[in-house]
Structure 1
Amino acid sequence: MNTLSIVIPVYNEGNTVHLILDKVKKSTLPNHISKQIIIVNDGSADHTAAAVAAYMQQNADLDIRYFEHAKNKGKGAALHTGIAHATGEYTIIQDADLEYDPNEYALLLQPVIDGFADVVYGSRFAGGNAHRVLFFWHTIGNKFLTFLSNMTTNLNITDMESCYKLFDTRMLQSLRLKEKRFGFEPEVTAKISKIPKIRIYEVGISYYGRTYEEGKKINWKDGFRAIYCIFRYGF
């Protein structure tokens, strides 16, 4: 049986982390694939640690592995920790903010299982799945960053900034990733694009976006950092 390692960075999600863990728990995978859940608490200042501990105690049958940063280092740093501890054949990134639906893991796995793909991106801009209507300028920004990324990597991805990226674990662990915050997305995209004969696919996914009042954390500074990362790692 193969295993899907699900890496979940969390920061101040104490009130809702159990909800995303429930969704991950209930998600359906092909019969020959099991789940390994890797939670990285990135120095949360709320009761995230206690909430995760309580969930793990109540769900002892799940393969949950918990790691903690003493102070907040950023999403990228949390992902570095989680990726380093992944032991499944495949790894997928899962934000804790309920914007993405774990029931769609099987969609991302299918091109890999069928032998076509090494990496699969979930695109919020492809397919006919449900999308919450939110910020016009965020959409323009995401498409602009994807355009710049494609220009430097010669890929034709439609959603470079998507959280849902599924990788062959050994391949992902072989990359020397440096970005500590939201620069992870353009950096990992640039670096996988340079792997000889890499096979990258996209599938359409749903998107249930949050407002800033609901806890969204990315901001305009992260957009400028993304541009820097695109040119730094793309060329």
Structure 2
Amino acid sequence: MNLSIIVPAYNEEKTIRSVLEKLKTLELLPPFGKEIIVVNDCSSDDTEKVVRDFIAANPDLSLKLHSHPVNKGKGAALHTGIQEASGDYVIVQDADLEYDPAEFNILLKPVLDGYADVVYGSRFMGGNAHRILFFWHTIGNKFLTFLSNMFSNLNLTDMETCYKLFRADIIKKIDLKEKRFGFEPEVTAKVAKISGIRIYEVGISYYGRTYEEGKKINWKDGFRAIYCILRYGLLG
């Protein structure tokens, strides 16, 4: 089996190499192999050059680069990555250092045990390390998860998490629309509507960034998330 790791990247020249180094040395639970798909969302810095140099230095690594000619947003980058993925399962890895790829195996375990089709990595459960940052950001995340759960009838603790693992045949059939951070509530609402799907949640670590360190999501994305929860939760 193969795991497709989608890395959406926009102006991440400072961290993208470190992420790729982690992914290169990552040992997944057997029988999983890996492919890495970086989607450069028209970065204005040297993100693309860093990735191309990394590919040149690691010719044996299954690493593909796709570049958008214009900036479209994280959701659009994920759409591209999902379309290009050839693995049996798909997972999202941000191009920063907020999440640790070594914890992919925590998400894979329910799959390998035969329990799960979709696994979310929650920053709000378990005893893993968490950087202490923004009070209102945490409250906002919990509110959005609560609202999402109301419409999806799920009991997630972290709908907005980056770490979402999907069976490839499931995620490829979902008609995704949201181009920016609305991907999270949209995909959650649409996955929840699939009959017979088995969704699990596991605790993960979180090494959050400040806005000075490159964090991009803002209050406007929060309002868009509310719209997406209502839009896709009610109408699909």
TM-score by length of 2: 0.98
Q: 1:30 matched to which residue of 2?
A: 29
In structure 2, the residue matched to 1:77 is 76
1:193 counterpart residue number: 192
Query: Match of 2:94?
Result: 95
Distance in 2 (alpha carbons) for counterparts of 1:124 and 1:25 = 24
2:67 match: secondary structure: strand
| 2-structure distance, mates of 1:141, 1:15 | 28
Amino acid at match of 2:208: G
Which digits, 9 at most, give the CA deviation of each residue in 1:69-105, with x for residues without a partner? 0111000000000000001000000001110000000
The question of 1:57 aligning with 2:56 is answered yes
Instruction: Give the aligned residue type for 1:121.
Output: Y
- TM-aligned CA deviation for residue 26 of structure 1: 1.8
Q: Gaps spanning 5+ residues in structure 1: where?
A: none
Q: In structure 2, what is the equivalent of residue 21 of structure 1?
A: 20
Cα separation, 2, equivalents of 1:227 and 1:77: 19
Partner Cα separation in structure 2 for residue 54 and residue 31 of structure 1: 29
Do structure 1's residue 3 and structure 2's residue 2 form an aligned pair? Answer: yes
The one-letter code sitting in structure 2 at the alignment partner of 1:195 is I
Say if 2:227 is the partner of 1:228: yes
Report which stretch shifted further, 25-34 or 96-105. Answer: 25-34
How many angstroms does 1:143 deviate by? Answer: 0.1
Q: Distance in 2 between matches of 1:160 and 1:170?
A: 21
Partner of 1:174: 173
Could you list the per-position Cα deviations for residues 10-32 of structure 1 after superposition, in whole angstroms to 9, with x for gaps in the alignment? 00111221000111112221131
CA-to-aligned-CA distance 1:153-183 (integer Å, 9 cap, x gap): 0000000000000000010000000000000
Q: TM-score, normalised by structure 1?
A: 0.99
Aligned residues: 234
Separation in 2, partners of 1:215, 1:64: 24
Partner letter of residue 121 of structure 2? G
Map 1:135-214 onto structure 2 (within 5 A). Answer: 135-214=134-213
Gaps of 5+ in 2: none
- After superposition, the C-alpha distances for 1:39-80 in whole angstroms (9 at most, x for unaligned) are 000010011111100000111111001100011100000000
1:184-220 per-residue CA deviation (whole Å, 9 max, x = no partner) reads 0000000000000110000000000000000000000
SS at match of 2:6: strand
Q: 1:206-235: per-residue Cα shift (whole Å, max 9, x none)?
A: 000000000000000000000000000011
- Per the alignment, residue 115 of structure 1 pairs with 114
- Whichever residue aligns with residue 123 of structure 2, its letter is R
Q: CA RMSD in A?
A: 0.6
Runs of 4+ in 1 over 4 A off after TM superposition: none
Is 1:132 matched up with 2:131? yes
Deviates more, 1:25-34 or 1:66-75: 25-34
Aligned partner of 1:192: which letter?
Answer: V
Counterpart amino acid of residue 231 in structure 1? L
Q: How many percent of aligned residue pairs carry the same amino acid?
A: 67
**Cα distance in structure 2, aligned partners of 1:53 and 1:184:** 27
Matches of 1:216 and 1:63, distance apart in 2: 28
Secondary structure of the structure 2 residue equivalent to 1:65: strand
2:79 is paired with a residue whose SS is helix
